[in-house]
């Protein structure tokens, strides 16, 4: 599902008008981080569909098998396989599944089946007070960015931007999952090095935008979904944060427009660091010409004079990092990597 249907030009226009001079929503941001309990093999995890429906219900069976192969018992959301148009059921039912998993004492983590579009519709229906009393791992990416932002803003809960139930669970992703969740390591996120049969490695290369190191809590996710929250009480505070972004199937002019929104609302000026992942299938279209992604990032990010790089393994790619949203990290823009400085789980 292309998120441009979710965003729409009118949404951006309305959001920017509502932003005014101070749009960080710092007043709604929690003062303390909320850490989830760690996971152990044998725990029960819940599988939910907060966004779009799958085009094949067998994908949910595959997702269940993946989680079982990782060593967990699986509880399926009551409405996980529902469909209402492109959505995985009604807003009320999707929210009920998510609330129910957080309220269930036997469930230790909530895994999103897939993204697509629709998670933002259920944000007003979530029981944030209850979630804050029952913190647990939430894993997903793309449209799940809406949930990461809302939970960060309303509860302070550290959540995880990474593969979903129906994602590819290749060797890299499985290893990353085990190191983050089961071994609870302070992971260093460095792109994998594999030149293949090339004389010089071409894949998974990072490019420095601005040199230096920075520390701060990680926020971000999908650019379209994040920007669509502008002017709402679910937009996180950007002050002193390291912003990571990814995108898929968006023309460069749309990326330019969304970064312009973040700039106009004052968000970019508050960052301590910036990491851009992959912009998959974001090639210029036909017409009079287009700015390149490199030019767009140079226009918006270089003038900030903060450490920044692009090319991190974050986004709609087969092998991807599992990034703790709200986790405290240090980034090195020269080396093209970042590392966790503190545990993202309860002691």
Rounded CA-CA distance 30/157 in Å is 9
- The separation between CA 259 and the C-alpha centre of its own chain, rounded to angstroms, equals 16
**String of DSSP letters for 180-245:** IIIS----EEE-----TT-SS--TT--EEEE--EEEEEEEEEEHHHHHTTTTSTTPPP-TT-EEEE
* Spatial CA neighbour of 48 closest among 130, 109, 2: 109
Maximum CA extent, the chain: 57
Residues near 335 by beta carbon (within 8 Å), at least 6 away in sequence? 190
Catalytically annotated residue among 49, 142, 167, 272: 142
Catalytically annotated residue among 51, 167, 210, 246: 246
What is the token pair recorded at 24? 């960080």
* Spatial CA neighbour of 135 closest among 30, 253, 223: 30
pTM above 0.95, yes or no: no
Rounded (to 5) percent helix, strand, coil in the chain: 35, 20, 45
- Kindly report the CATH number that applies to the domain delimited by 4-28+188-340: 3.50.30.60
Active site residue 142: yes
Dihedrals φ, ψ of 280, to 5°?
-75, 130
Dihedrals φ, ψ of 97, to 5°?
-65, -45
Rounded CA-CA distance 142/161 in Å is 8
- The separation between CA 321 and the C-alpha centre of its own chain, rounded to angstroms, equals 10
Rounded CA-CA distance 183/160 in Å is 15
Is the Cβ–Cβ distance between 218 and 145 less than 8 Å? Answer: no
* Spatial CA neighbour of 235 closest among 280, 273, 275, 266: 266
> Which residues does the chain have with pLDDT short of 70?
1-31, 287
Tokens 């279209």 locate to 285
* pLDDT given for residue 11 in this prediction: 40
pLDDT tens-place string over residues 243-260: 999 999 999 999 999 999
pLDDT tens-place string over residues 176-195: 999 999 999 999 999 998 87
Four-way CATH pick for 44-182: 1.10.287.110, 3.30.70.100, 3.30.1490.480, 3.40.50.10740: 3.40.50.10740
User: Structural domain boundaries of the chain?
Assistant: 4-28+188-340, 44-182
Query: What ranges make up the beta strands (E) of the chain?
Result: 44-48, 73-76, 107-112, 137-140, 159-161, 188-190, 207-210, 213-222, 242-248, 273-280, 308-310, 323-325, 328-332, 337-340
Is the Cβ–Cβ distance between 214 and 247 less than 8 Å? Answer: no
* pLDDT given for residue 31 in this prediction: 54
Is the Cβ–Cβ distance between 332 and 338 less than 8 Å? Answer: yes
Rounded CA-CA distance 77/308 in Å is 39
Active site residue 246: yes
What is the token pair recorded at 322? 């599992």
- Beta-bridge partners for 36: none
Is the Cβ–Cβ distance between 74 and 64 less than 8 Å? Answer: yes
Catalytically annotated residue among 79, 148, 161, 316: 316
Is the Cβ–Cβ distance between 149 and 232 less than 8 Å? Answer: no
* pLDDT given for residue 162 in this prediction: 98
């Amino acid at each position: 599902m292309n998120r441009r249907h979710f965003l729409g030009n009118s949404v951006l226009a309305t959001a920017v008008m509502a932003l005014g001079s101070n749009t960080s929503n710092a007043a709604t941001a929690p003062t303390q981080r909320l850490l989830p309990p760690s996971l152990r093999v044998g725990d029960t995890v819940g599988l939910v569909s907060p966004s779009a429906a799958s085009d094949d219900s067998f994908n949910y069976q595959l997702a269940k098998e993946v989680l079982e192969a990782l060593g967990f018992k699986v509880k399926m959301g009551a409405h996980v396989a529902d469909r209402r148009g492109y959505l995985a059921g009604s807003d009320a039912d999707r929210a009920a599944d998510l609330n129910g998993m957080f309220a269930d004492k036997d469930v230790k983590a909530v895994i999103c089946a897939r993204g697509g579009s629709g998670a933002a519709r259920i944000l007003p229906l979530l029981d944030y007070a209850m979630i804050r009393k029952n913190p647990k791992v939430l894993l997903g990416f793309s449209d799940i960015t809406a949930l990461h932002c809302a939970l960060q803003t309303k509860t302070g809960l550290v959540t995880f931007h990474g593969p979903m139930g129906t994602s590819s669970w290749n060797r890299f992703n499985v290893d990353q999952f085990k190191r983050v969740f089961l071994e609870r390591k302070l992971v260093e996120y460095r792109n994998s090095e594999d030149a293949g049969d090339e004389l010089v490695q071409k894949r998974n290369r990072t490019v420095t935008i601005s040199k230096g190191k920075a520390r701060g809590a990680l926020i971000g996710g999908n650019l379209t979904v994040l920007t669509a929250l502008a002017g709402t009480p679910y937009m996180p505070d950007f002050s002193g944060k390291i912003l990571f972004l990814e995108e898929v199937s968006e023309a460069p002019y749309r990326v330019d427009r969304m970064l312009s929104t973040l700039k106009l609302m004052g968000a970019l000026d508050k960052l301590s660091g910036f990491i851009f992942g992959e912009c998959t299938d974001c090639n210029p279209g036909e017409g009079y010409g287009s700015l390149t992604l490199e030019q767009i990032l140079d226009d918006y990010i270089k003038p900030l004079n903060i450490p920044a790089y692009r090319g991190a393994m974050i986004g709609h790619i087969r092998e991807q990092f599992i990034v703790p949203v709200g986790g405290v990290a240090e980034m090195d823009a020269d080396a093209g990597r970042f590392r966790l400085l503190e545990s993202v789980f309860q002691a």
